[in-house]
Amino acid sequence: MELFPLFNSIRIAIISTIAVFFLGIFSAYYISRANRLVKGFLDVILTLPLVLPPTVVGYLIIRALGPNHPVGIFFQDLFGIKLILVWWSAIFATMIVSFPLMYRTARGAFESFDETLAYSGQTLGLSNAFIFWRIRMPYCRQGILAGTVLAFARALGEFGATIMVAGYIPGKTATIATTVYHFWRINNDEMAMRWVLINIAISAVALIAINIFEKRNLTIRTKNAS
Amino acid sequence: MSLTVNIKKRLENFNLKVAFEAGNERMALLGTSGSGKSLTLKCIAGIEKPDSGQIVLDGQVLFDSQKGINLPPQKRRVGYLFQQYALFPNMTVEQNIACGMWQMTRAERQKAVAVMIERMKLNSHWKKRPAELSGGQQQRVALARILISCPKLLMLDEPFSALDSHLRWQLELELAETIKSYEGTTLLVSHKQDEVYRLSDSVCVLNDGSAEQKRPVKELFEAPSTMSECMILGINNISRARTVDDYTIEAIDWGTRLCTGKAVPTGISHIAVKEEDLVFANGEVTNKIKCQVDQVIEDVSSTLLMLSTPGGDSGSSRLQLRMPKTPGMKLGKSDRLNLHIDPARVMTFNR
């Protein structure tokens, strides 16, 4: 069995999750401290991909990065890089679709942070970077980890936008999701089923990982509280 | 060591206006909740920015709106003990104490932490996390973490509010020791007059955002000089007043004239008397108040009489008298009695 789709899916999901991890955390951090108007506006914009059909996202990506559009032309001319119908095109799609999951869970976590801890860190002479990475992030780690796993699982399962921007080219842009669709279309039930099972297995592992982590956190907390 | 604060800050429904100077002493900010005590500390620490004014610590300008100076909290060298101590939950006791000492070498840091742990009696708690400690131990860790960097100013925000009442006393004794051995200005914030009385040398009463004149603690408790000072000290026996002559004043709400021990200052508008300074009149002719009992309230260790007076509106008690519990006391509602105030105990002030 050709395992390229598995490798490609995981590669896309990992790169997109790393990017979304930082983007999500920083936008969550700054938006959680912005004033209400800015917050309300940006919140809608950044959450929109969660509710839009992936085809709409895919269409917008093609409009933005396609070979006949400014950004696409720019990259083609300057670096000779294609942004559409190559394997990394899917990264744009998965990033946009999974970003809201990271952003919203991280923002929820940041908003529950006890700001006094940051203040006391400042009066103790700790740098703002130290306070962010060593106090705020550990305090919010549960929400941030949950957001990361959700974003990863979502990136792994992305289909609609991916098929539009990366297409289905065996050995080049095929992912697990697009491979299932391909085999179903050509009536190869056995292969379709194999890839379905692979997908279910990976997603289940990711969700089990969240649950185990949450449980462990819970036991640590109750132990500390008693 | 000295601290000069003169700041103004406007919030939505609140105006902060605080000015005081403190030397090398234990000073307190006394006020009800919402009077701006914590906000004042935050401005001094650099967490909040005042709209205008100046904060100078030990000759160093921390904040000056005119010169455009506003040092970040990290550079102010101000120790701030937060109400709930604000220990970092993900770090051990040792890490909490050490984290502010990042500029030291590893060996120096370990030594300094060991000294602090010893001094704060935390020897068996090195590797514990804050959630595993009692309230008192948490406070000692928070103090250790602050004192290790030798701040020029130590600010304590309601240091006992996070504790059960039976733990407070022990902790207050410990904290008194710590403050005593600290060489610098301490600024205590509290809404409890007895804490302030025991733990400070001087005090500044804060009322709805504005600070009264700073004064020695004993003086405040002897002779509160404004309405808000009376309120925070729990003095409820207050009457409008009018000067009659140099040593006589008319208490309008109590319907009587009273002699004063000292010459009546000009511009007096109110007089006050503490509950414990009211006594039953035993044949005295002067300084008498005729009262009628409205209500008898049993308190934990005393009995409180709510009394109405001739000058007062009907139905509102104008005087409170506290007396030791006496078995078989016959006083009841509507009984009449005469009270006496020692002229020296009459407190006069201008609103």
pLDDT, tens digit (0-9, with 9 covering 90-100), for B236-246: 888 888 899 88
CA dist B207 and B196 (Å) reads 16
Chain A interface, best mutation among B41, B47, B133, by max A CB count within 10 A: B47
Note whether A122 contacts B: Cβ–Cβ < 8 A: yes
pLDDT in tens, A133-165: 999 999 998 889 889 999 999 999 899 999 999
Note whether A114 contacts B: Cβ–Cβ < 8 A: yes
Compute the average pLDDT of residues B176-200: 92
Give yes or no for residue B249 having a pLDDT over 50.
Answer: yes
pLDDT at position A125: 94
pLDDT at position A220: 54
Q: At what angle do helices A36-51 and A4-32 cross, to 10 degrees?
A: 160
Compute the average pLDDT of residues B139-148: 94
Q: Where in chain B is the domain with CATH 2.40.50.140?
A: 237-349
* Contacts (Cβ under 8 Å, ≥6 apart) of B3: B21, B22, B44, B55, B56, B57, B58, B153, B185, B187
Task: Specify whether domain B237-349 bears CATH 2.40.50.140.
Answer: yes
- B82 contact residues in A (CB cutoff 8 A): 116, 119-120
Q: Is B86 exposed, middle or buried (0-12, 13-18, 19+ CB in 10 A)?
A: buried
Question: B322 pairs with which residues across the strands?
Answer: B304
- Report the share of chain B in percent with pLDDT over 70: 98
Q: Name the residue with tokens 């000492």.
A: B101
* Contacts (Cβ under 8 Å, ≥6 apart) of B335: B292, B293
User: CB A26: neighbour CB atoms within 10 A?
Assistant: 13
A119: nearest CA in chain B?
Answer: B47
User: CB B166: neighbour CB atoms within 10 A?
Assistant: 7
pLDDT at position B316: 64
A121: nearest CA in chain B?
Answer: B100
Question: How many CA atoms lie less than 13 Å away from A102 in the CB half-sphere?
Answer: 26
Note whether A138 contacts B: Cβ–Cβ < 8 A: yes
Give yes or no for residue B70 having a pLDDT over 70.
Answer: yes
Give the CATH fold of the B3-227 domain. Answer: Rossmann fold (3.40.50)
pLDDT at position B277: 85
Note whether A55 contacts B: Cβ–Cβ < 8 A: no
CA dist B119 and B148 (Å) reads 11
What's the CATH code of the domain at A220?
1.10.3720.10
Q: ipTM value of the model? A: 0.84
Note whether B100 contacts A: Cβ–Cβ < 8 A: yes
Note whether A170 contacts B: Cβ–Cβ < 8 A: no
Which residues 186-225 of chain A have a CB within 8 Å of chain B?
221, 224-225
Question: What confidence category does residue B305 fall into, taking pLDDT thresholds of 50, 70 and 90?
Answer: confident
pTM equals 0.83
A221: nearest CA in chain B?
Answer: B131
Give the total number of structural domains in chain A: 1
What does the pLDDT profile of chain A (226 residues) look like in tens digits? 789 999 999 999 999 999 999 999 999 999 988 888 999 999 999 999 999 999 999 999 999 998 888 888 888 888 888 888 999 999 999 999 999 999 999 999 999 999 999 999 999 999 999 999 999 999 998 889 889 999 999 999 899 999 999 999 999 999 999 999 999 999 999 999 999 999 999 989 888 887 887 777 655 555 444 4
Select from B45, B47, B89 the Cβ nearest to the Cβ of A139: B89
pLDDT at position A160: 94
Mean pLDDT of chain A: 90
Cβ contact, residue pair A119, B73, below 8 Å = yes
- B48 contact residues in A (CB cutoff 8 A): none
CA-CA-CA-CA dihedral for B221, B227, B231, B237, to nearest 10: 90
Select from A123, A221, A225 the Cβ nearest to the Cβ of B80: A123
Residue A202: which domain range?
4-225
pLDDT at position B85: 94
Which residues 53-82 of chain B have a CB within 8 Å of chain A?
72-76, 78-80, 82
Give yes or no for residue B165 having a pLDDT over 90.
Answer: no
CA dist B55 and B9 (Å) reads 13
